Amino acid sequence: MKTVYTFVPSPNHLYPDHPERPGRLEFLQPRLESFAAGLIETISATREEIAYVHNPKVVSALERVCREEAPGIIDYAPTYVTQSSFEDALLAAGGVLTCARAVVNGEAKNAFAIVRPPGHHAEPDRPMGFCIFNNIAIAARDALAHGLERVAVIDYDAHHGNGTQAAFLNDERIAFLSVHQYGAGFYPGTGWIDEAPHAKKRIVNVPLPAYAGDQVYEQVADQVFAPFVESFQPQLILISVGFDAHWSDPITMLGLSTAGYLMLAKKVVTLAEGCCSGKIVFVLEGGYDPINVANGAETVFIAETGQRASAVNDPSPRQEPDCSSRIEEVRNWHGFS
Protein backbone atom coordinates (compact mmCIF):
# COMPACT_ATOMS: atom_id res chain seq x y z
CA MET A 1 0.00 0.00 0.00
CA LYS A 2 1.15 3.46 -0.64
CA THR A 3 0.87 7.04 0.45
CA VAL A 4 -1.63 9.17 -1.44
CA TYR A 5 -2.34 12.88 -1.55
CA THR A 6 -4.86 15.35 -2.87
CA PHE A 7 -3.95 18.80 -4.15
CA VAL A 8 -6.50 21.63 -4.09
CA PRO A 9 -4.65 24.92 -4.68
CA SER A 10 -7.78 27.05 -5.29
CA PRO A 11 -6.06 29.62 -7.56
CA ASN A 12 -9.12 31.87 -7.64
CA HIS A 13 -9.47 32.11 -3.87
CA LEU A 14 -7.26 35.14 -3.31
CA TYR A 15 -7.46 38.67 -1.98
CA PRO A 16 -5.08 41.62 -2.32
CA ASP A 17 -2.20 41.60 0.21
CA HIS A 18 -3.68 38.64 2.12
CA PRO A 19 -1.22 36.06 3.53
CA GLU A 20 -3.58 33.09 2.86
CA ARG A 21 -2.98 33.10 -0.88
CA PRO A 22 -2.37 30.61 -3.72
CA GLY A 23 1.32 31.57 -3.73
CA ARG A 24 1.73 29.69 -0.44
CA LEU A 25 1.98 26.54 -2.56
CA GLU A 26 4.22 27.91 -5.33
CA PHE A 27 7.42 26.11 -4.21
CA LEU A 28 5.62 22.96 -3.13
CA GLN A 29 3.71 22.32 -6.35
CA PRO A 30 6.78 21.71 -8.58
CA ARG A 31 8.21 19.31 -5.96
CA LEU A 32 5.09 17.16 -5.57
CA GLU A 33 6.13 14.59 -8.17
CA SER A 34 9.45 14.00 -6.41
CA PHE A 35 7.71 12.44 -3.41
CA ALA A 36 6.99 8.70 -3.36
CA ALA A 37 3.24 9.29 -3.17
CA GLY A 38 0.32 9.07 -5.59
CA LEU A 39 -2.01 11.94 -6.44
CA ILE A 40 -5.67 10.96 -6.16
CA GLU A 41 -8.57 12.83 -7.65
CA THR A 42 -10.59 15.11 -5.39
CA ILE A 43 -14.38 15.13 -5.46
CA SER A 44 -16.19 18.12 -3.96
CA ALA A 45 -17.84 17.61 -0.61
CA THR A 46 -21.64 17.65 -0.71
CA ARG A 47 -23.83 19.93 1.39
CA GLU A 48 -24.83 16.87 3.42
CA GLU A 49 -21.19 16.19 4.23
CA ILE A 50 -20.55 19.84 5.15
CA ALA A 51 -23.56 19.52 7.49
CA TYR A 52 -21.68 16.89 9.50
CA VAL A 53 -20.16 19.96 11.18
CA HIS A 54 -21.74 23.18 9.92
CA ASN A 55 -25.18 24.69 10.37
CA PRO A 56 -26.90 24.43 6.93
CA LYS A 57 -28.32 27.94 7.30
CA VAL A 58 -24.83 29.33 7.71
CA VAL A 59 -23.67 27.37 4.67
CA SER A 60 -26.54 28.73 2.55
CA ALA A 61 -25.84 32.27 3.73
CA LEU A 62 -22.19 31.87 2.83
CA GLU A 63 -23.06 30.62 -0.64
CA ARG A 64 -25.28 33.67 -1.18
CA VAL A 65 -22.54 36.05 0.00
CA CYS A 66 -20.05 34.46 -2.43
CA ARG A 67 -22.53 34.71 -5.33
CA GLU A 68 -23.89 38.20 -4.65
CA GLU A 69 -21.41 40.21 -2.60
CA ALA A 70 -17.93 38.79 -3.24
CA PRO A 71 -15.16 39.72 -3.20
CA GLY A 72 -15.29 40.84 0.40
CA ILE A 73 -14.22 40.39 4.00
CA ILE A 74 -16.53 38.28 6.17
CA ASP A 75 -14.81 38.42 9.57
CA TYR A 76 -12.17 40.35 11.47
CA ALA A 77 -9.23 37.89 11.01
CA PRO A 78 -9.73 38.96 8.18
CA THR A 79 -11.36 36.07 6.33
CA TYR A 80 -12.23 36.84 2.72
CA VAL A 81 -14.41 35.30 0.03
CA THR A 82 -14.36 35.59 -3.74
CA GLN A 83 -16.97 34.45 -6.22
CA SER A 84 -15.29 31.04 -6.43
CA SER A 85 -14.72 30.58 -2.69
CA PHE A 86 -17.83 28.51 -1.99
CA GLU A 87 -16.88 25.93 -4.63
CA ASP A 88 -13.20 26.14 -3.62
CA ALA A 89 -14.14 25.40 0.00
CA LEU A 90 -16.34 22.44 -1.05
CA LEU A 91 -13.40 21.06 -3.02
CA ALA A 92 -10.96 21.63 -0.13
CA ALA A 93 -13.27 19.73 2.22
CA GLY A 94 -13.63 17.05 -0.45
CA GLY A 95 -9.84 16.79 -0.71
CA VAL A 96 -9.68 15.83 2.95
CA LEU A 97 -12.65 13.45 2.71
CA THR A 98 -11.08 11.71 -0.28
CA CYS A 99 -7.82 11.14 1.60
CA ALA A 100 -9.48 9.98 4.80
CA ARG A 101 -11.75 7.54 2.97
CA ALA A 102 -8.82 6.04 1.06
CA VAL A 103 -7.05 5.37 4.36
CA VAL A 104 -10.13 4.13 6.23
CA ASN A 105 -11.05 1.82 3.31
CA GLY A 106 -7.55 0.39 3.26
CA GLU A 107 -6.85 1.60 -0.29
CA ALA A 108 -3.95 3.72 0.93
CA LYS A 109 -1.44 3.31 3.75
CA ASN A 110 -1.69 6.98 4.77
CA ALA A 111 -2.41 10.33 3.12
CA PHE A 112 -1.79 14.06 2.94
CA ALA A 113 -4.55 16.49 1.93
CA ILE A 114 -2.86 19.61 0.58
CA VAL A 115 -5.83 21.95 0.36
CA ARG A 116 -6.83 25.55 0.73
CA PRO A 117 -8.74 27.43 2.03
CA PRO A 118 -7.69 25.95 5.39
CA GLY A 119 -10.21 24.84 8.00
CA HIS A 120 -9.30 24.56 11.69
CA HIS A 121 -10.59 27.99 12.81
CA ALA A 122 -14.01 27.54 11.17
CA GLU A 123 -16.65 26.90 13.84
CA PRO A 124 -19.97 25.10 13.30
CA ASP A 125 -21.79 28.45 13.06
CA ARG A 126 -19.22 30.67 11.40
CA PRO A 127 -16.28 30.87 9.01
CA MET A 128 -13.29 32.31 10.87
CA GLY A 129 -9.56 32.89 10.68
CA PHE A 130 -8.98 32.50 6.92
CA CYS A 131 -11.09 29.29 7.11
CA ILE A 132 -14.45 28.64 5.39
CA PHE A 133 -15.35 25.03 6.26
CA ASN A 134 -13.62 22.95 8.91
CA ASN A 135 -12.17 20.38 6.53
CA ILE A 136 -10.61 18.10 9.14
CA ALA A 137 -13.67 18.12 11.40
CA ILE A 138 -15.89 17.14 8.47
CA ALA A 139 -13.55 14.25 7.65
CA ALA A 140 -13.55 13.08 11.28
CA ARG A 141 -17.35 12.95 11.36
CA ASP A 142 -17.39 11.26 7.95
CA ALA A 143 -15.12 8.53 9.28
CA LEU A 144 -17.62 7.94 12.10
CA ALA A 145 -20.43 7.82 9.55
CA HIS A 146 -18.45 5.09 7.76
CA GLY A 147 -18.25 2.92 10.85
CA LEU A 148 -15.32 4.08 12.96
CA GLU A 149 -15.99 4.63 16.65
CA ARG A 150 -13.02 6.77 17.74
CA VAL A 151 -11.06 9.37 15.76
CA ALA A 152 -8.31 11.61 17.18
CA VAL A 153 -7.29 14.98 15.75
CA ILE A 154 -3.86 16.41 16.61
CA ASP A 155 -3.31 20.03 15.57
CA TYR A 156 0.21 21.43 15.41
CA ASP A 157 -0.51 24.52 13.37
CA ALA A 158 0.87 27.57 15.21
CA HIS A 159 -2.66 28.70 16.11
CA HIS A 160 -5.25 27.12 18.36
CA GLY A 161 -7.69 24.91 16.44
CA ASN A 162 -10.68 26.64 18.00
CA GLY A 163 -13.11 25.52 15.30
CA THR A 164 -12.24 21.86 15.65
CA GLN A 165 -12.47 22.13 19.42
CA ALA A 166 -15.89 23.81 19.15
CA ALA A 167 -17.16 21.08 16.83
CA PHE A 168 -16.14 18.26 19.16
CA LEU A 169 -16.52 19.69 22.67
CA ASN A 170 -19.42 17.36 23.36
CA ASP A 171 -18.69 14.52 20.95
CA GLU A 172 -17.10 11.71 22.92
CA ARG A 173 -16.24 9.78 19.76
CA ILE A 174 -13.63 12.35 18.77
CA ALA A 175 -10.57 13.49 20.73
CA PHE A 176 -8.77 16.74 19.98
CA LEU A 177 -5.32 17.97 20.92
CA SER A 178 -3.93 21.36 19.92
CA VAL A 179 -0.43 22.72 20.57
CA HIS A 180 -0.11 26.38 19.69
CA GLN A 181 1.35 29.77 20.50
CA TYR A 182 -0.59 31.53 23.24
CA GLY A 183 -0.18 35.02 24.62
CA ALA A 184 -1.39 38.59 24.63
CA GLY A 185 -2.90 39.51 21.28
CA PHE A 186 -2.07 36.20 19.60
CA TYR A 187 -4.85 34.86 17.38
CA PRO A 188 -7.44 33.50 18.14
CA GLY A 189 -6.93 33.96 21.90
CA THR A 190 -8.38 30.60 22.94
CA GLY A 191 -6.62 27.34 23.78
CA TRP A 192 -5.67 27.65 27.45
CA ILE A 193 -5.20 24.43 29.40
CA ASP A 194 -8.50 24.38 31.31
CA GLU A 195 -11.05 25.17 28.58
CA ALA A 196 -12.84 21.82 28.63
CA PRO A 197 -12.98 20.58 32.23
CA HIS A 198 -15.70 18.08 31.31
CA ALA A 199 -13.45 16.44 28.70
CA LYS A 200 -10.14 15.77 30.40
CA LYS A 201 -7.80 13.58 28.32
CA ARG A 202 -10.13 14.11 25.31
CA ILE A 203 -9.93 17.87 24.63
CA VAL A 204 -6.30 18.79 25.27
CA ASN A 205 -4.66 22.19 24.82
CA VAL A 206 -0.94 22.87 25.05
CA PRO A 207 -0.44 26.66 24.98
CA LEU A 208 3.18 27.65 24.35
CA PRO A 209 5.10 30.92 24.71
CA ALA A 210 6.84 32.63 21.81
CA TYR A 211 10.01 30.99 20.47
CA ALA A 212 9.13 27.50 21.69
CA GLY A 213 10.84 25.28 19.13
CA ASP A 214 12.21 21.83 18.31
CA GLN A 215 13.16 20.83 21.87
CA VAL A 216 9.89 22.00 23.41
CA TYR A 217 7.81 20.34 20.70
CA GLU A 218 9.71 17.08 21.17
CA GLN A 219 8.84 17.19 24.88
CA VAL A 220 5.20 17.90 24.00
CA ALA A 221 5.09 14.98 21.56
CA ASP A 222 6.61 12.54 24.05
CA GLN A 223 4.83 13.76 27.17
CA VAL A 224 1.42 14.83 25.84
CA PHE A 225 0.75 13.44 22.34
CA ALA A 226 1.76 9.94 23.44
CA PRO A 227 -0.44 9.59 26.55
CA PHE A 228 -3.32 11.32 24.72
CA VAL A 229 -3.26 8.68 21.98
CA GLU A 230 -2.62 5.87 24.48
CA SER A 231 -5.63 6.95 26.55
CA PHE A 232 -8.10 7.43 23.68
CA GLN A 233 -7.05 4.52 21.43
CA PRO A 234 -8.21 6.10 18.15
CA GLN A 235 -8.88 4.00 15.04
CA LEU A 236 -7.71 6.87 12.82
CA ILE A 237 -5.49 9.89 13.50
CA LEU A 238 -6.00 13.13 11.60
CA ILE A 239 -3.31 15.81 11.78
CA SER A 240 -3.96 19.52 11.32
CA VAL A 241 -0.50 20.47 10.10
CA GLY A 242 0.36 24.13 9.68
CA PHE A 243 3.84 25.27 8.75
CA ASP A 244 3.40 28.62 10.50
CA ALA A 245 5.13 27.32 13.65
CA HIS A 246 8.40 27.59 11.68
CA TRP A 247 10.64 30.29 13.19
CA SER A 248 10.69 32.33 9.99
CA ASP A 249 6.93 32.40 9.42
CA PRO A 250 5.86 36.01 8.84
CA ILE A 251 2.78 36.03 11.11
CA THR A 252 3.81 34.00 14.20
CA MET A 253 6.66 33.79 16.72
CA LEU A 254 7.31 30.10 17.34
CA GLY A 255 10.63 28.35 16.82
CA LEU A 256 10.28 25.07 14.90
CA SER A 257 12.81 24.28 12.19
CA THR A 258 12.33 21.89 9.28
CA ALA A 259 14.11 19.22 11.35
CA GLY A 260 11.60 19.86 14.14
CA TYR A 261 8.72 19.39 11.71
CA LEU A 262 10.25 16.11 10.53
CA MET A 263 10.60 14.95 14.14
CA LEU A 264 6.91 15.74 14.79
CA ALA A 265 5.68 14.03 11.62
CA LYS A 266 7.70 10.91 12.44
CA LYS A 267 6.39 10.88 16.02
CA VAL A 268 2.74 11.01 15.00
CA VAL A 269 3.23 8.41 12.26
CA THR A 270 4.81 6.13 14.89
CA LEU A 271 1.88 6.77 17.27
CA ALA A 272 -0.54 5.79 14.49
CA GLU A 273 1.43 2.62 13.82
CA GLY A 274 1.11 1.76 17.51
CA CYS A 275 -2.65 2.28 17.87
CA CYS A 276 -4.35 2.05 14.50
CA SER A 277 -2.20 0.16 11.97
CA GLY A 278 -0.65 3.42 10.78
CA LYS A 279 -3.93 4.99 9.66
CA ILE A 280 -3.05 8.68 9.57
CA VAL A 281 -4.07 11.60 7.37
CA PHE A 282 -2.27 14.93 7.42
CA VAL A 283 -4.33 17.99 6.48
CA LEU A 284 -2.74 21.31 5.53
CA GLU A 285 -3.82 24.29 7.61
CA GLY A 286 -1.63 27.44 7.78
CA GLY A 287 1.94 28.36 6.86
CA TYR A 288 2.62 31.67 5.18
CA ASP A 289 6.18 31.38 3.88
CA PRO A 290 6.06 29.31 0.68
CA ILE A 291 9.55 27.87 1.25
CA ASN A 292 8.55 26.62 4.70
CA VAL A 293 5.37 25.14 3.26
CA ALA A 294 7.37 23.21 0.65
CA ASN A 295 9.99 22.02 3.15
CA GLY A 296 7.35 21.22 5.73
CA ALA A 297 5.23 19.24 3.28
CA GLU A 298 8.33 17.26 2.40
CA THR A 299 8.71 16.28 6.08
CA VAL A 300 5.18 14.86 6.02
CA PHE A 301 5.90 12.79 2.91
CA ILE A 302 9.23 11.57 4.33
CA ALA A 303 7.52 10.43 7.53
CA GLU A 304 4.62 8.79 5.67
CA THR A 305 6.64 7.05 2.96
CA GLY A 306 9.91 6.38 4.72
CA GLN A 307 11.59 8.15 1.80
CA ARG A 308 15.09 9.66 2.09
CA ALA A 309 15.69 12.26 4.76
CA SER A 310 15.48 15.98 4.16
CA ALA A 311 18.69 17.89 3.62
CA VAL A 312 17.17 21.13 4.85
CA ASN A 313 19.08 22.57 7.83
CA ASP A 314 17.47 25.76 9.13
CA PRO A 315 17.73 25.88 12.95
CA SER A 316 16.02 28.71 14.77
CA PRO A 317 18.39 31.56 15.62
CA ARG A 318 16.55 32.14 18.91
CA GLN A 319 16.99 30.60 22.33
CA GLU A 320 14.05 28.39 23.30
CA PRO A 321 12.18 29.02 26.55
CA ASP A 322 12.06 26.22 29.13
CA CYS A 323 8.49 24.88 28.99
CA SER A 324 8.88 21.92 31.35
CA SER A 325 6.58 23.36 34.01
CA ARG A 326 3.92 24.28 31.43
CA ILE A 327 3.98 20.77 30.01
CA GLU A 328 3.78 19.33 33.53
CA GLU A 329 0.76 21.57 34.20
CA VAL A 330 -0.97 20.14 31.12
CA ARG A 331 -0.15 16.57 32.16
CA ASN A 332 -1.41 17.14 35.67
CA TRP A 333 -4.65 18.78 34.52
CA HIS A 334 -5.49 15.74 32.40
CA GLY A 335 -4.09 13.11 34.72
CA PHE A 336 -1.56 11.89 32.16
CA SER A 337 1.17 10.04 33.94
What CA–CA distance (Å, rounded) separates 72 from 43? 26
* Closer CB to Zn ion, 258 or 292, in the complex: 292
Residue count at the site for Zn ion (CB under 5 A)? 6
Please, are residues 26 and 289 in contact by the beta-carbon 8 Å criterion? no
Catalytic site includes residue 121: yes
* Closer CB to Zn ion, 40 or 158, in the complex: 158
* Closer CB to Zn ion, 53 or 284, in the complex: 284
Shortest spacing between CB 295 and Zn ion, in angstroms: 16
Residues near 127 by Cβ (< 8 Å), separated by ≥ 6?
62, 74, 75, 79, 81, 133
Torsion of CA 135, 138, 143, 149, to 10 degrees: 120
Shortest spacing between CB 140 and Zn ion, in angstroms: 19
* Closer CB to Zn ion, 157 or 320, in the complex: 157
145-184 footprint of Zn ion as x/- string (CB under 5 A): ------------xxx-------------------------
What CA–CA distance (Å, rounded) separates 102 from 7? 15
Q: Which of residues 2-21 bind Zn ion (CB under 5 A)?
A: none
* Closer CB to Zn ion, 179 or 271, in the complex: 179
Which residue in the list 13, 54, 120, 121 is annotated as catalytic? 121
275-314 footprint of Zn ion as x/- string (CB under 5 A): -----------x----------------------------
Residues in the chain: 337
Shortest spacing between CB 198 and Zn ion, in angstroms: 26
What CA–CA distance (Å, rounded) separates 284 from 268? 15
CA atoms within 13 A on the CB side of 230: 11
Shortest spacing between CB 129 and Zn ion, in angstroms: 8
DSSP for 172-207, please give it.
TTEEEEEEEE-STT-SS----TTS-GGGTTTEEEEE
Shortest spacing between CB 16 and Zn ion, in angstroms: 21
Please, are residues 174 and 153 in contact by the beta-carbon 8 Å criterion? yes
CA atoms within 13 A on the CB side of 219: 17
Burial of 60 by CB count in 10 Å (0-12 exposed, 13-18 middle, 19+ buried)? exposed
* Closer CB to Zn ion, 16 or 250, in the complex: 250
Q: Which of residues 195-254 bind Zn ion (CB under 5 A)?
A: 242, 244
Shortest spacing between CB 159 and Zn ion, in angstroms: 4
Q: What is the chain's percent helix, strand, coil content, to nearest 5?
A: 40, 20, 40
Please, are residues 312 and 295 in contact by the beta-carbon 8 Å criterion? yes
Interacting residues with Zn ion (CB under 5 A): 157-159, 242, 244, 286
Residues marked as catalytic: 121
